A and B are shown apart, each in its own frame.
Chain A
């Protein structure tokens, strides 16, 4: 069954308006608490970073594990450039900030964009040698670069800029929930448009079969480089948003584990599905908070259930993810995208299935 175009448009409008109203209510404290606001913000940021990683891993078929490094570039650019000048001596208390930078304070948007550009330039530079490597070598090389970025940032010699291992505090936060949401949605939309364009079709051709794609006249290196650079740009934007979300930046936030967590988001959502990644980003970010009760001691009457203690949450979380990887390899959406037709067909099939199940015993009676 296919829905009418106008019905779909109405459904989409209703969804968007509902989301906007909910966000507005969240922002003004009508519903939820500041804690809910934080989770929603973080989900949007992770959705952006997830889609940026999916662009390379899911759509272009390159197994890149460098996302944390690009996020670090974005986060540090935003952190360094947006702390209010009068607060800087308190943040850089061990080593004063470099003279050229000490009085430079730029608006959040400019810093965010700069971070993205830095990361994109860096990605373009390392792309030249790295993207020629085959799948698992590429994984380990990008992982390496991400770790190199972190080591350089955390090192004492760069302390006048990055504050070394102390990290940066007092980064101005968001004034409204709409700032990160709008930036994330815009970023995801741009990547979705890229994927829908002829470039995106070339990406998918490379994913399916590199040699065949090359034979069809697709310039492998050019397209891989484009995908990698755009991905780095948006990962850095996500990193910059993260810096403002936490109002602090620390090189330890960008360890390899972060890349793995984002990888697990796109695996859950489906490698090669933008909407899947967004759904998974929300499910995982919120799920990690909801599972928090596993970390607290749990009592039935006076008896303390023995397994409940800090850390159980992450164990359950990783077991769930292993289960997805092993038994449900395509993730929630596979390479499909969310569509109203898909939803309705799903319910139709469910209805048919239930009817068939209900009919069967009746026939046996006859």
Chain B
């Protein structure tokens, strides 16, 4: 592999990793607070892809309005799912709420198949994002270059939000001890809704950035990225926001290079992520940045 190809792959990998990172944040935040793998998160991401198609291709909105509309629509969807499917099960065993999440995922996929048909829809071009840009010998659409920048900026905003605002403090309290924070007068349901809103907004941005360099969206296109991003969250240490971003980068870059270095392994690129996960779970179950949790009776 010569230097140009190497750099080209670096750019692609980092860009893919940043999109993964944005989605992984949603998983890690929800898990931190509800101890729930939000299986529907990947499908919320897929729906955001469809929302973009509708906003731009069908309603002809200019791209900057479209992005705003997509984010709002996705946030409403995410918050509605939380209210309808997770809130009634707060006191239920964890397995029930996880099954509910799987049910929502199932519903969203079927709903998308029904509303938008199972045929892949082409993803629209978003303004200047698609212009091919060249740095040295490396050429890629603008979106590939700005994705990591957006991710890093959002990460810092989020870290500030969690560590230096009252709302962030409440979030940390809820994730530390659910009951105790309720006794301290924290509105648990509001905090959980806010968590879902942030997660969904990031998923919407992630969807626009992820789908832009790719041609198609179809009802199942949220499934694999969703699982991979959950794995990214686990690798980074679940419940830890910078960890999720690191995990996203690790998976994005590893996946890109696996395909680039061993083209015959292309079919295994999805499976490879799971291999990473299993290695991680066996050797360091708390993830790269995770804390140790001791189990009490």
Contacts and interface: CB of A to CB of B under 8 A. Distances in A.
A155 B107 CA distance: 30
A133 B103 contact: no
Contact of A147 (B85, B103, B271): B271
Nearest to B118: A311
Interface in B41-86: 84-85
Interface residues of A, number: 46
Nearest to B279: A129
Contacts of A143: 227, 274
Contacts of B118: 311
A271 interface: yes
A219 interface: no
Interface residues on B, range: 35 or more
B110 interface: yes
B189 to A, nearest CB: 17
B106 A318 contact: yes
B297 interface: yes
B94 interface: yes
A151 B106 contact: no
Interface string A246-273: 0000000000110010011001000100
Interface of A: 57, 61, 63, 129-130, 133, 135-137, 139-141, 143-145, 147-148, 150-152, 154-157, 211, 256-257, 260, 263-264, 267, 271, 309-312, 314-315, 317-319, 321-322, 325-326, 329
A315 B111 contact: yes
Contacts of B99: 263, 267, 325
B161 to A, nearest CB: 26
B264 A315 contact: no
Nearest to A158: B267
Contacts, number: 124
A264 B103 contact: yes
Interface of B: 35-37, 84-85, 88-89, 92, 94-96, 98-100, 102-107, 109-111, 113-115, 117-118, 223, 227, 230-231, 234, 264, 267-268, 270-271, 273-275, 277-278, 281-282, 285, 297
B102 A144 contact: no
B102 A156 contact: no
A123 to B, nearest CB: 14
Nearest to A211: B297
B278 A311 contact: no
A130 B113 CA distance: 34
Contacts of A309: 114
Nearest to A137: B281
Given A325-B99, A326-B85, A136 B94 contact: yes
